[in-house]
Chain A
Amino acid sequence: MLAKELVAASTVPLVLSVLTEGENYGYALIQRVRELSAGKIEWTEGMLYPVLHWMEKEALIESEWREAETGRKRKYYRLRKEGRKALQEEKQQWLTVHETLTKLWQPQIHST
């Protein structure tokens, strides 16, 4: 299981990344992240919605209420152009952290 702080910090890039696969709704977003992380990333599910609403206010994503196959109304989220830009920036930052840690954790080559 990941630390709470890391889960919180990765929520926005994870949501943006899942939405690059196409529009989706809250419950399915959580299921997708759970599936990709093999259950290692666990959100307090209800906490995702304020984040989604914040992202909507920041114009990163947009939403639409539609009728689902069950007959119930469901709110679908999709990426906006600004969201794609934000994802590129997030990607750069996370890759920088990843590369730095990978270099640090590589087995050291000891000179004889």
Chain B
Amino acid sequence: MATPNSFDLNHALHRWLAQLAQSPQVRATDLSELETHVRDSVLQLHGKGLSAEESFWVATHRVGSPAQLEPEFAKVNRKPWHLMIHGLILVLFGICCWFLWGMLHLPEMMQGLLAKAGAVNQVTGYGALPGFTQFLVTLRDYLVIPPALALAYCVYVWFGKSTVKNSWMGFFAVTLSTLVFLTLPIIIAIVLPVIAFMNLMPK
């Protein structure tokens, strides 16, 4: 039978912490904080006349069982899924902008093919790209700005100590509106030279 003096606080504490450590949601720093808490509590209870074993039992009982604590730590420690959704939206938005940038190369490619076929006259401007298309083609490199702004916003959401809840839905709405706003003129800019070149075809 164990005597009061045979109680090993460190051993008991490590066994108790090991139980908590089994949960992936409880981090090492959480365990350190709880260990300090239990030690403080044991010290105080021991000072009031309880044995080391009794003090440990009361202290750990007051802290709560692993079954009680794990879900509470899980709530605060799990990866917030809205941050991951922000990342996913950012990647998709970046791909869409890159795709639009690529699409704005099409009019020049079409013009190049026609030039090879001798359907473009540099002097008369016959077969040249429409003004609106030329305007958007000169602006295509600026398509790097929307993803850069989206990235800056995501960095703020991921690492900033904001007190505001950052909704992924708001971010999704803004990126989707931006894509619609960009896509419509780009489609027009691509379709215009196609129509113009079709008109040049001999009937």
- A: residues with CB less than 8 A from B are 25-27, 44-47, 49-50, 53-54, 57-60, 68, 70, 72-75, 82
Contacts and interface: CB of A to CB of B under 8 A. Distances in A.
B34 interface: yes
A107 B41 CA distance: 44
Contacts of B178: none
Contact of B39 (A44, A45, A72, A75): A72
A44 B36 contact: no
A44 B162 contact: no
A46 B76 contact: no
Interface of B: 29-30, 32-34, 36-37, 39-41, 62-64, 68-69, 72-73, 75-77, 161-163
Contact of A50 (B62, B75, B161): B75
Given A27-B41, A57-B76, 18 more contacts: A25-B36, A26-B37, A27-B40, A45-B37, A45-B63, A46-B34, A47-B64, A49-B34, A49-B37, A50-B76, A53-B76, A53-B77, A54-B76, A59-B163, A70-B39, A72-B36, A75-B32, A82-B163
Contacts of A45: 37, 41, 62-64
A33 to B, nearest CB: 13
Contacts of B32: 73, 75
Nearest to B32: A73
B36 A27 contact: yes
A73 B161 contact: no
The list of the 5 closest CB pairs from A to B, nearest first, reads: A46-B63, A46-B64, A50-B72, A27-B40, A44-B64
